Amino acid sequence: MPSQNALRVAVVGTGKMGADHVRRLQQVISGARVTAVVDIDAERVRGLADGIDGCTAYTEPAAALAAPDVDAVLIASPGPAHEAALIDALAHDLPVLCEKPLTPDAASALRVLEAEQRLGHRRIQVGFMRRYDVEYAKLKRLLDSGELGRALLLHHRHRNLSMPEWFTNEMLINDSVVHEMDVTRWLLDQEITAITVLKPAPTSHAPAGMNDPQFVLLETEAGALADVEMFGHCGYGYQVTAEAVCERGTARIGDEPGPRVSVDGRWGGRITPDYVERFEDAYDREVQAWVDATRQGLVTGPSVWDGYAAAAVCEAGVRSQHEGRRVEVDLIERPVFYG
């Protein structure tokens, strides 16, 4: 909850995710308050700022980032706007939590990677919030413990009720499957080396021209495989699951968040409608961790390297989507700076 010497945050981009982060920072997170909101939609941003004590509305990120009452930045604008805001935040040496994707392509992600290295210390955390989901975190600990042996396969399912009408085929990779790219790298501690995107006959519920669902195959440096069913218009709810197949056993998450209700001769449960609700706790934990670390002068969580590596896989994925073939991922060597 906002307090006197709380971290003063500028939220850049106040669409669905940005507005939810403003609410979160004001009402859920301790040690932070929102002092600036930025959006090209002047009316929307003024409306938001009017409801928050000591908060100024801006239509340009640069003006907010230069404001004397801003200590840190949360970027939730569309991916193509991230690079300029990130470079500007680094120029002001401001701590950043940047929603995924870091940037929409590998070249721009590389420019951010180089800018942060030039600054000489980490400042940016990338918003791969699934790492903060309780079940994903348990799966990570289980795999790291070695109890199940070496991981051989990951099966991911990523289903959305529907997609906004401006959502494109490429965004199914860049904005949606990017999560599975990150969790695959993170769960297995391996880079992804190649990707194949397959396009089965589309559902009649997808807009004309959209290949939905898509089936994505990721290959990793140690020879594990991960498959992703990406379904943007499943029509019944938001569902994200993962299963690891290892040498001595398997582990599945995301199936049944509960409660499992038995009534009237049947059993079942509720399916969340969207990611804001399904991953609400993960977002809370992610933003609280960022605020806590920032107040201690630390940077934790997914790094610009993680954002760049995912962007490189996305780029190869979009090429595979267009060319209908397996594409190898072109990744620079990991700089010592990123450990």
Site residues (CB under 6 A) for ligand ISE?
160, 175-176, 179, 275
CA separation for the pair 283, 192 (Å, rounded)? 25
CB atoms within 10 A of CB 130: 24
Nearer to ligand ISE, 18 or 61 (CB): 18
Q: Give min distance, CB of 316 to ligand ISE, in A.
A: 19
Nearer to ligand ISE, 2 or 18 (CB): 18
Q: Give min distance, CB of 240 to ligand ISE, in A.
A: 7
CA separation for the pair 7, 291 (Å, rounded)? 7
Query: What φ, ψ does residue 196 adopt, rounded to 5°?
Result: -130, 125
User: How are beta strands 250-253 and 239-246 bridged, if at all?
Assistant: antiparallel
User: How are beta strands 214-220 and 225-231 bridged, if at all?
Assistant: antiparallel
CB atoms within 10 A of CB 173: 27
Nearer to ligand ISE, 58 or 167 (CB): 167
Q: Give min distance, CB of 176 to ligand ISE, in A.
A: 3
Q: Give min distance, CB of 128 to ligand ISE, in A.
A: 9
CA separation for the pair 330, 303 (Å, rounded)? 19
Q: Select the residue whose beta carbon is closest to ligand ISE and give its number.
A: 176
Q: Give min distance, CB of 191 to ligand ISE, in A.
A: 22
CA separation for the pair 231, 157 (Å, rounded)? 8
Nearer to ligand ISE, 175 or 219 (CB): 175
Nearer to ligand ISE, 8 or 180 (CB): 180
